[in-house]
Amino acid sequence: MPIHQVEFNMIITALGMMCAMVQGLTGAYAGFYRKRVALLRTDDILNRAHRAFGGFATTLYLLGLFAGINGIIGAFTRNEPPLELSNASFNIHTWGSFVVLAIFIWKTYHSYFDKKPLFGRKKWLGQAMFAAWAFNWITAAVSYYVRTQPGNLQHPAPVFLLPYSLMGLQIALPFILGGLIGWLIIRQSATEREARQEQS
C-alpha cells in the first residue's frame, strides 16, 4: 500500500523520538542514577550507545526539519498546507518548533564542536534536548491525527501507524521501545562492570 508523505514524516519523527529516548535514558542513568556523567565517556557500552543513538536522532531530526520547513513555507506562500492561525494544535506545534530548533542547534554545536561544557555547567542541555524531542513528537502526532478526522480532514488515515482510536498508544510507542532498548544497554553495561569487578 502506498504511504502518504505526511505519514512518512511522522514515522521519521517517531524513530527520532525512540533514538532520543535511548540517548536520554543512558544519560539519565549516568548522570542521575550513578551520579557520574563522566561514565558517558569512560564506559565503552554507554559511550557507544549514547553517541550512536544521539547521532541517529540528529539525522532523523534534520530529515523531519526539511519537511517542516517546506510545510511552513507552503503554508505562508500557497496556503498549502492551510495556514491555521486560529487552530491550537497548529500554533502549538508550529511556533513551539522554533524553540525546539534553537535547543537542537545549541546542543548539536556543543556535541560536535565543544563537548566539555555538556559534562559540566551545560549538562542541562541534554535534558532540554530530550524535552524538546518529546514536545516535537507529541505535538506533531496530535496535529497529524486530528487532521485525519472528518472535522478537519487534510490527510488520509494512517496506513502503517496505528489508527486514530489508538493515538495515545502510538504516541507512547517510541518512549516504550526506546526505554526497552535503553534498559537492555544499561543492563549490559552493568553486567560487564560487575564481571570486571569480580576479576579484579
Q: Are 20 and 182 in contact (CB under 8 A)?
A: no
pLDDT, averaged in runs of 10, over the chain (200 residues): 87 97 96 89 94 95 87 84 86 92 93 84 89 96 95 91 97 98 96 82
Number of domains in the chain: 1
Residue span of the structural domain in which 83 resides? 5-199
Other beta carbons within 10 angstroms of residue 173's beta carbon come to 16
Q: Specify the pLDDT at position 171.
A: 98
pLDDT digits (tens, 9 = 90+) for 80-138: 888 888 889 888 999 999 999 999 999 999 988 888 888 777 889 989 999 999 999 99
Q: Specify the pLDDT at position 47.
A: 94
The CATH number given to whatever domain includes residue 34 is: 1.20.120
Nearest Cα residue to 110 out of 100, 130, 98, 125: 125
Q: Are 147 and 117 in contact (CB under 8 A)?
A: no
Q: Following DSSP, what letter does each residue of 76-112 receive, concatenated? A: HHT-SS---TT-HHHHHHHHHHHHHHHHHHHHHHHHH
Residue 160 three-state SS: coil
Q: Specify the pLDDT at position 177.
A: 98
Q: Are 50 and 40 in contact (CB under 8 A)?
A: yes
Question: What's the whole-model pTM score?
Answer: 0.91
Q: Specify the pLDDT at position 82.
A: 83
Cell triple for residue 153?
Answer: 480532514
Tell me which residue has cell 517542516. Answer: 68
